[in-house]
Amino acid sequence: MNLSKKNYLFIGCATLIMLCCSCTFLLGTSLVLIGDSTNSSTTCRIDGVPCDEISENTDIEADQLDESYFGGENDRLELDFEEEVIIISYLVDDAAISELKKPQVAPELQELQDDVQKHHELWELYVRLFPESYLENIQELEITTDGIDGTLAAVYQSQKAIDKWILVIDIIDAYPRDKLDDRELKSTLIHEFGHILSFDKKQLDLSEEYFYARTQDQVEESLQLGRASCPTYYAIEGCMYADSYLFKFYDEFWTPLYSELRILEQIDDEEEYYDAAYELYLRHPDQFVTDYAAVNPGEDIAESWTAFILKDKPTGSTIADEKIRFFYRFPELVEMRQEIRSNL
């Protein structure tokens, strides 16, 4: 296995490894900016403090997260197939969480299940980071663990509502040595929010066939029908709208790789898939911000989004640089970048 280890998974009912039921996986106060952040007169809604004073600290924090997420040598992806344990789940309603399900857990997990303060701290971190308008996309919060390392955070489509998502956070990985490692968690949540953003109901025609699929044959059939009928890009959960972020990203950066992507999509074995994706990366290393981005267009846009948030605007000429600059074409995403960076 050659792909860099990432402490997240984008989970959906797809065609690879069965994770649960019929599901598998492919692969405080917010700071609000007023005016143009490049203008020295810009102020912020935190006691009227000038934005340039806050910006300096924001840039330092973003640089540190950037170095942590993208810098140094990557670990290699090691899927040990340990069973994920749901410790407790919460219903999300208007940015607040309330206990939904508290399953019986092993004695060694009881303390983690009872530590409600940590559960709320994790949720409040997510709430602080991202725009309030996107909180309604999250229907549930699952506090889980698959042991040390593995998956730090993930999102997957709810089976109760087609346009809602479940946010998963591994409490053991989030609290190494019983202290919150918010640096790594923030970086990972930014990646996961990239999925929430690109799979928002305004971005695609959500597939009811896929949503209601409960057997592997039904999943396969929904994928075949979706790919055959979608004129843009079919991304498992549905057909992307022509003006969606993901289709524009796919159309510009993956159309030249279409034949290689089709080969990837035909691979059913998970390990073979990741190996083939890594080979794709090795053939085009200047086209991806990380090797994990080569897994599929959805992971590519999420990794590029993370680089857009954490890195300075690149000046290079590689396709990987162009992918980061892609987001600067959308004023609403530039504004969102400012808000998220201010909340780091």
What number is the average pLDDT over the span 106-124? 97
Per-residue pLDDT, 301: 99
C-alpha distances in Å from residue 319, one per residue of 229, 258, 326, 338: 29, 16, 10, 24
Q: How far apart are CA 105 and CA 173, in angstroms?
A: 18
Tally of domains within the chain: 1
End-to-end CA distance of the chain: 33
Domain extent, residue 254, equals 1-344
| CA nearest to 280, candidates 301, 298, 296, 302 | 296
Contacts of 225-230 with C-beta under 8 Å, sequence gap 24+, read: none
Per-residue pLDDT, 63: 76
User: Are the C-beta atoms of residues 326 and 252 closer than 8 Å to each other?
Assistant: yes
Q: How far apart are CA 149 and CA 4, in angstroms?
A: 13
Is the per-residue pLDDT at 86 higher than 50?
yes
What number is the average pLDDT over the span 182-198? 96
Contacts of 214-219 with C-beta under 8 Å, sequence gap 24+, read: 214/21, 214/22, 215/22, 216/15, 216/18, 216/22, 218/22, 219/13, 219/14, 219/15, 219/22, 219/24
> What proportions of the chain, in percent to the nearest 5, are helix, strand and coil?
50, 15, 35
Q: How far apart are CA 136 and CA 164, in angstroms?
A: 8
Is the per-residue pLDDT at 17 higher than 60?
no
Which has the minimum average pLDDT: 7-21, 67-81, 112-126, 299-313? 7-21
- In sequence order, what are the beta bridge partners of 169? 143, 153
Tell me the pLDDT band of 50, cut-offs 50, 70 and 90. Answer: very low
Position of tokens 């890195």?
A: 311
Tell me the pLDDT band of 66, cut-offs 50, 70 and 90. Answer: confident
Is the per-residue pLDDT at 53 higher than 50?
no
Q: How far apart are CA 191 and CA 156, in angstroms?
A: 13
Tell me the pLDDT band of 62, cut-offs 50, 70 and 90. Answer: confident
C-alpha distances in Å from residue 161, one per residue of 93, 158, 275: 14, 6, 34
> Position 263: which residue type?
I
280-338 per-position pLDDT tens digit: 999 999 999 999 999 999 999 999 999 999 999 999 999 999 999 999 999 999 999 99
37-46 per-position pLDDT tens digit: 333 333 332 2
Is the per-residue pLDDT at 31 higher than 90?
no
Tell me the pLDDT band of 150, cut-offs 50, 70 and 90. Answer: confident
Is the per-residue pLDDT at 34 higher than 70?
no
- The mean pLDDT of the chain is 83
Higher pLDDT, 68 or 113: 113
